[in-house]
A and B are shown apart, each in its own frame.
Chain A
């Protein structure tokens, strides 16, 4: 079975974000990680391969530094990686999806996996867009996946419960927390990863002409930091009484 995982490199969750003098995001010095939801996708791909055999390819649209994220997936056990240079500084979800879909359309895949969202922009739309372009069904926010006989049976979260959805392959599946526990790359895995193929291509090479973003960012700003409020002193019974009073009279929540 051929499994493709779409993977995005995101900022480290502890990273401090600053703005540059002209009000753009300054990502200098921000350390980068694999988007945590994509890690679930990589893990699931490796499990599918362990069960049924096949090949796991990880694909990312991004700059040169995204190779680190791809390398890590290779170290976890993926077989090969592909990095696609979008050829433009400004990439919105429409461009990312168009480029990825075009690259994927030239590959042999039975199933495509990805995270349900990236933690940096919370857009939750690239996978859905890719599925739409490739004309394959999508199941989002999957917490359990079984693949057999050309079908995927996926349990996904919905508000107020969960549902079990069956789709024919090829299909796009996006991972939600709870799907699995991603493995850590072993020392051996890290050594092996160095020799695994890291393909590099560009949007133009996969056949995407110059695209302009559909969404345009107008300005960036930092939120006003939350300030520490009142710490209520005293023994528990008095403190509880005072808190209830403050929520009622001062914060006017009740």
Chain B
């Protein structure tokens, strides 16, 4: 008896994360093929308003887990509540975004219900009546297709920007689910929000990144100005981070963030293998580098050999004129 595909809906500051909608939309097709109900699981405080929008992305049912203690994400609170709900309802699959909180939650829930978890997946298909996931390993040098043949639910976390969030109008049933948050051992002492108009690096459609070629922290302004015209996030290579020009949470690469934007513009970045490991799944790569031999040109869809301090401001003007 089919029991449903569940998607965890992550929200922050009253906003649903884009990746949650991507996973929900992608699961719609799988749910239909496998004859499952598609359920969204939405924990938080004051989230009912958000629940109504989930039908638009294909949810048949929304489990709302509403409680003051769920206002901020805590590993214990969220994992206890969701694992309890899973044990009670025994869904076939539980999917979520490979985000900072998503990863926390996924590991805890997977162990609480003793199932397998495939992390950082970039594709999901239905094969021989089961969900099959594809994920890059060895920094994208190999792809593995995997499944969870027996243990339930099948769990997977999905890399942001792997699917399109598509509207698929449904009237979702909203259910207030009973749950237990249990003992929350992580006490939040402080939350520091970065006030930024720019999108989150891991979820951004466009990223403009700067490397050692930026030469100083002040010069990042050149990149930021282009990013602002494009509504893009700003990234960096490790060389720029290690030089202390930008904070480490901007680093893209093997020991930085994995990003998958539609457009990645690399400025003054040589294209070391460890950098490519973090941005190689970008749909379109643009490189601006004064060295025609730079490795980045071997993977870039479009390249300009030139000084970034000449090219980037001109590029900004070009985009300004038609965006």
Residues from chain B with Cβ under 8 Å of A153 in the complex? 189
Q: How far is the CA of A231 from the CA of B322 in the complex (A)?
A: 22
Other-chain contact of A218, B99, B106, B147, B286 (Cβ < 8 Å): B147
Given A92-B116, A231-B303, answer yes or no on A128-B107 (Cβ-Cβ < 8 Å).
yes
Residues from chain A with Cβ under 8 Å of B255 in the complex? 36-37, 119, 177
Instruction: Encode contact with B along A120-132: 1 for CB under 8 Å, 0 otherwise.
Output: 1111111111011
B301: min CB distance to chain A, Å: 4
Are B186 and A13 closer than 8 Å at their CB atoms?
A: no
A32: min CB distance to chain B, Å: 12
* SS of B interface (majority): mixed
Are B314 and A240 closer than 8 Å at their CB atoms?
A: yes
Instruction: Encode contact with B along A208-237: 1 for CB under 8 Å, 0 otherwise.
Output: 000001111111111100101111100011
Residues from chain A with Cβ under 8 Å of B138 in the complex? 11, 15, 17, 25, 120
Are A243 and B99 closer than 8 Å at their CB atoms?
A: no
* Interface contact tally, CB-CB below 8 A: 262
Are A230 and B146 closer than 8 Å at their CB atoms?
A: no
Q: Which of A43-51, A57-65, A154-162, A190-198 contacts B (4 or more CB under 8 A)?
A: A154-162
- The verdict on B82 contacting chain A, using a C-beta distance below 8 Å, is no
Q: How far is the CA of A142 from the CA of B101 in the complex (A)?
A: 13
Q: How far is the CA of A129 from the CA of B119 in the complex (A)?
A: 13
Other-chain contact of A161, B103, B132, B194 (Cβ < 8 Å): B194
Other-chain contact of B108, A19, A120, A138, A177 (Cβ < 8 Å): A138
25 residue pairs of the A-B complex, CB under 8 angstroms, read A17-B142, A119-B255, A138-B75, A139-B186, A140-B75, A141-B100, A158-B100, A159-B100, A162-B192, A164-B189, A165-B187, A167-B185, A177-B251, A177-B256, A214-B114, A214-B148, A218-B146, A231-B302, A231-B305, A232-B303, A236-B306, A240-B311, A243-B315, A246-B302, A247-B286
Task: Please indicate which of the listed interface residues A131, A164, A215, A247 has the most CB atoms of chain B within 10 Å of its own CB.
Answer: A215
Are A214 and B119 closer than 8 Å at their CB atoms?
A: no
Task: Please indicate which of the listed interface residues A92, A127, A141, A165 has the most CB atoms of chain B within 10 Å of its own CB.
Answer: A165
- The verdict on A253 contacting chain B, using a C-beta distance below 8 Å, is yes
Other-chain contact of A240, B148, B188, B318 (Cβ < 8 Å): B318
- The verdict on A55 contacting chain B, using a C-beta distance below 8 Å, is no
Are A127 and B107 closer than 8 Å at their CB atoms?
A: yes
Q: How far is the CA of A214 from the CA of B119 in the complex (A)?
A: 13
Are A165 and B314 closer than 8 Å at their CB atoms?
A: no
Q: What would 18 more interface pairs be, CB under 8 Å, given A14-B273, A159-B12, A232-B302?
A: A94-B111, A119-B255, A121-B137, A122-B135, A122-B136, A124-B119, A125-B103, A127-B107, A132-B111, A141-B100, A143-B248, A160-B200, A178-B247, A214-B116, A214-B148, A214-B150, A215-B147, A217-B145
Q: How far is the CA of A135 from the CA of B101 in the complex (A)?
A: 19
Given A124-B103, A222-B141, answer yes or no on A231-B146 (Cβ-Cβ < 8 Å).
no
Residues from chain A with Cβ under 8 Å of B118 in the complex? 215
Q: How far is the CA of A253 from the CA of B322 in the complex (A)?
A: 13
Residues from chain B with Cβ under 8 Å of A16 in the complex? 141
A residues with a Cβ closer than 8 A to B are: 11, 13-17, 19, 25, 36-37, 92-94, 97, 116-117, 119-129, 131-133, 137-141, 143, 153, 157-168, 177-178, 213-223, 226, 228-232, 236-237, 239-241, 243-244, 246-248, 251, 253-254
Other-chain contact of A166, B189, B304, B307 (Cβ < 8 Å): B189
Q: How far is the CA of A150 from the CA of B143 in the complex (A)?
A: 43
Q: How far is the CA of A222 from the CA of B137 in the complex (A)?
A: 10
Instruction: Encode contact with A along B84-103: 1 for CB under 8 Å, 0 otherwise.
Output: 00000000000000111101
- The verdict on B299 contacting chain A, using a C-beta distance below 8 Å, is yes
Are B254 and A160 closer than 8 Å at their CB atoms?
A: no
Other-chain contact of A244, B115, B303, B310, B322 (Cβ < 8 Å): B322
Closest 4 CB pairs of A and B: A128-B107, A214-B116, A137-B185, A125-B107
Q: How far is the CA of A228 from the CA of B194 in the complex (A)?
A: 37
B316: min CB distance to chain A, Å: 9
Nearest to A228 among chain B residues (CB) is: B298
Are B147 and A231 closer than 8 Å at their CB atoms?
A: no
Are A122 and B119 closer than 8 Å at their CB atoms?
A: yes
Other-chain contact of A159, B72, B99, B310 (Cβ < 8 Å): B99
Are B107 and A129 closer than 8 Å at their CB atoms?
A: yes
B305: min CB distance to chain A, Å: 6
Instruction: Encode contact with A along B128-139: 1 for CB under 8 Å, 0 otherwise.
Output: 000010011111
Task: Please indicate which of the listed interface residues B185, B286, B307 has the most CB atoms of chain A within 10 Å of its own CB.
Answer: B185
- The verdict on B193 contacting chain A, using a C-beta distance below 8 Å, is yes
Nearest to B299 among chain A residues (CB) is: A226
Instruction: Encode contact with A along B150-177: 1 for CB under 8 Å, 0 otherwise.
Output: 1100000000000000000000000000
Other-chain contact of A215, B116, B187, B304, B318 (Cβ < 8 Å): B116
- The verdict on B73 contacting chain A, using a C-beta distance below 8 Å, is yes
Nearest to A226 among chain B residues (CB) is: B299
Q: How far is the CA of A21 from the CA of B230 in the complex (A)?
A: 46
**A-contacting residues, B308-323, CB 8 Å:** 310-311, 314-315, 317-319, 322-323
Nearest to A17 among chain B residues (CB) is: B141
